[in-house]
Amino acid sequence: MQPKRILLIVGGGISAYKIPQLIRLMRAEGLSVTPVLTQAGAQFTTTMTLSVLAGEPVHEALFDIGTEAEIGHIQLSRNADLVVVAPATADLMAKMAQGIANDLATTLLLATDKPVLIAPAMNVRMWDHPATRRNRETLARDGILSVGPDSGDMACGEYGPGRMAEPEAIVAAIRDALAPHPQPLAGRHAIVTSGPTHEPIDPVRYIANRSSGAQGTAIAAALRDLGARVNFVTGPASVAPPDGVNVIRVETARQMRDAVQAALPADIAVMAAAVADWHVTNESGLKMKKDGSGNPPALDMAENPDILRWLSNDASRPRLVVGFAAETHDVIAHATAKRLRKGCDWIVANDVSPATGIMGGTENAVTLITEAGPEEWPRMDKDKVAARLAARIAEALE
């Protein structure tokens, strides 16, 4: 069998000193390694070291747009089985998230049609910076795989997450990325609701909630990754929907119900949307004005359709119906009662008290409640929660 080819892009960070060791381990795994050294990376490790260990020339030339050499370089990123970026600096991640291609490494990253694995490494404040957080989310949504960073003492004297994963862990992630991915949900149809709903008061005002849609989006992507055909019914979320799913945008709970109904039949329904409980029945066609009396207008409200409850009890009920329970106290008791009240199979319960930072954040700590009882999962990225849930769904449908 041909050895798997790894295009290894070496960014400019102090942890580049671990790259020679990484290359040795990769070679020991039988991988062939083509190194690409960025200008910044060359400050921390040398062309000579990398090429001797890889047994291949190192690519590092800046190039003229449109030359034959450039086209040859693009070919580099197509010939690889996997592109690995280590260390992936804040700068490289920002460029990847934006699609900037202004040197060889970033051009290869934009031109590749192969999976990409990054091993981030940077100062802890840079890692925690909102800009880097945004970029991390964007890259994850784009399907970029990542390993690390680890927490610990940093070369700059600070402590926290930001150390590049150890070479052994990077090799394990490479092995995983190269492994054939089973598609246990191939041929299955999943409906996922996500995001908040907006319930209009007048043409410019609405009732909403703080849901970002991040967890529902991650679940749709995870089901897609396992081969499911996904209809993704989303309210006005603040994160972009995933690629490779059919996106149905709605505003109100009533539209969401209609969209779910139209997407039936399905094998799986995951209702992750934070659906508003009420809508305004005396919605004004014109913008409401203060009338000078000092009295606020009276809003008449009616209950929204409970999509989860309706679907769980409908004749067209999907085989597996999963609901969510966002609670601020007595999470498990409330969620256990909710599972029975709604008639769904599972409830994913989470504590959304402001102190947890879960609503709008990148992590989630959930308890899965099934017929067998509650099962507490450790706090992890919403993507990981989604992958684990999707794997459980696949298991349940086997």
Q: List contacts with ligand C5P (CB under 6 A).
A: 193, 253, 271, 273, 275, 304-308, 323-325, 338
Q: In angstroms, rounded to a whole number, what is the distance separating the alpha carbons of residues 322 and 132?
A: 32
To ligand C5P, the closest distance from the beta carbon of 139 in angstroms equals 27
Q: In angstroms, rounded to a whole number, what is the distance separating the alpha carbons of residues 93 and 73?
A: 20
Give the DSSP H or E segment for 52. helix 47-54
Cβ closer to ligand C5P: 124 or 248? 248
Cβ closer to ligand C5P: 17 or 278? 278
Residue count (the chain): 398
Cβ closer to ligand C5P: 81 or 251? 251
To ligand C5P, the closest distance from the beta carbon of 309 in angstroms equals 7
Closest CA relative to residue 318, chosen from 271, 378, 255: 271
Residue of 61, 71, 155, 156 marked active site? 156
DSSP string over 247-268: EEE--SHHHHHHHHHHH---SE
To ligand C5P, the closest distance from the beta carbon of 181 in angstroms equals 28
The tokens of 380 are what?
Answer: 């992890």
User: Which ranges of 80-158 does DSSP label H, i.e. alpha helix?
Assistant: 90-98, 104-111, 124-128, 130-141
Please tell me what DSSP assigns to residue 81: S
Cβ closer to ligand C5P: 120 or 323? 323
Task: Establish whether 344 is a catalytic residue.
Answer: no
To ligand C5P, the closest distance from the beta carbon of 384 in angstroms equals 20
To ligand C5P, the closest distance from the beta carbon of 368 in angstroms equals 13
- Helix and strand element counts for the chain (H, E): 13, 21
Any idea which residues carry the catalytic annotation?
A: 156
